[in-house]
Copies of this chain bind each other. A is one copy, B any other.
Amino acid sequence: MTRVTEARAAEIFEATKRWGRWGADDERGALNLLTPERALRARGLVRTGQVVSCGRELAVDPAPDNPRPALHHMLVAGDVAEPRRPGLSASADFVGVAFHGMAVSHIDALCHVFVDGQMYNGFPATEVTSLGARRGSISAAFDGIVGRGVLIDVPRHRGVEWLEPGDSITPDDLDRTLEAQGVAAEPGDILLVSTGRDARRAVHGPWDPNTTGLAGLDPECIPWLAERDPSVLGSDGVSDVLPANEHRWPIPVHSCLIVGMGVHLLDNLRLDRLAAACAAAGWWEVQLTVAPLQIRGGTGSPVNPIAVL
């Protein structure tokens, strides 16, 4: 299945590519848009102090969308707590995760994807070695991401509980949803596109996104995004509509946003609770904080983005 021709995807990539925009040596990409001024303005979006997590519980159980489950191992449990003895009586655990994939809420670093052997800003893919990334690593986001988060709640606008797997969101969907929500996307925004995945999963159980698909952005949304100029793009899916195209641009939103535009992506978020909170409040802009683990040379991080309304 193919939603965009190979030629059109290449055309979009070239048209939206912005290498050199922040200098030939830049590794932060659109995070450069997150200026103190924007963080300052984002505080103004806090109107009730309601705090909402946009992360999923860490996926430790095998499932069709989680073929390589995260590891959560107890190192010491309460069974060996020996009361009334010197020495701390404590419990501890180990967590391990290959966070890319379809189950874990995570951020993609700019080195996560390559096009023609190059990552964002033209650094060669070989800068990502078996010892870690020397360029484009998640260290660009070590200081945290704080800005204005705008939820684009497509299912709500369409009047459905969720979009079906494989369903494409068009630029028109984005425009109309934002219009209905009474909010406009601005440069530097952290855009969060809801597809209702969590609601569908709660009803129908998990499915394999590689074969059954995921709702996501039609590739024609990429120029739309380039115009709005977000700092970060997130979704409860993987932003791209799946199944992947069977040509050189399998998931063009990843390729164009990460490689071409230098935009970090947030994948597999949990947006149902944010959607409910926004609908109840009647506004869809929030202060959003993303705090990646500081994995030197990492290609991203598991995250638990926190919205404050």
Chain B residues, CB < 8 A from A172: none
- Which residues of B have CB within 8 Å of A246? 86
A75-B98, A132-B72, A293-B304 known; A111 vs B125 contact (CB < 8 Å): no
A53-B143, A60-B296, A62-B67 given as contacts; is B94 within 8 A of A96 (CB)?
yes
Of B53, B56, B77, B300, which one neighbours A77 at CB under 8 angstroms?
B77
- Chain A, interface size category, equals 35 or more
Residue of B41, B42, B49, B84 touching A37 (CB-CB under 8 A): B49
Question: By the criterion CB–CB under 8 Å, are B77 and A128 in contact?
Answer: yes
By CB atoms of chain B within 10 A, which of A50, A100, A144, A302 has the most? A144
Q: How far is the CA of A251 from the CA of B51 in the complex (A)?
A: 32
What is the distance, in angstroms, from A190's C-beta to the closest C-beta of chain B?
13
Q: How far is the CA of A36 from the CA of B51 in the complex (A)?
A: 7
* Nearest CB of chain B from residue A6's CB, rounded to whole Å: 9
* A211 close to B (CB within 8 Å): no
Considering the complex, which residues of chain A in the window 50-65 have a beta carbon less than 8 Å from any beta carbon of chain B?
50-53, 55-58, 60, 62
Q: Quickly give the copy total for this chain.
A: 4
A56 to B291, CA, bound (A): 12
Kindly state the separation between the CA atoms of A115 and B89 in the bound complex, as whole angstroms. 7
CB pair A130 B130 closer than 8 Å? yes
- Tell whether A121 is near chain B: CB-to-CB under 8 Å: no
Chain B residues lying within 8 Å of A131, measured Cβ to Cβ, are 74, 76, 80
**Residues of chain B with a CB closer than 8 A to A117's CB:** 78, 81-83, 89
| Chain B proximity of A122: nearest CB distance (Å) | 13
The one of B78, B251, B294, B297 that contacts A127, using a Cβ cutoff of 8 Å: B78
Minimum CB–CB distance for A244 against chain B, Å: 7
Give me the interface of A with B, judged by CB distance under 8 Å: 34-44, 46-53, 55-58, 60, 62, 67-69, 71-100, 105, 111-117, 119, 124-133, 142-144, 146, 244, 246-248, 250-251, 254-255, 287, 289-306, 308
Interface CB pairs A-B, < 8 A, 8: A55-B293, A57-B296, A67-B67, A78-B117, A78-B128, A81-B128, A93-B298, A292-B304
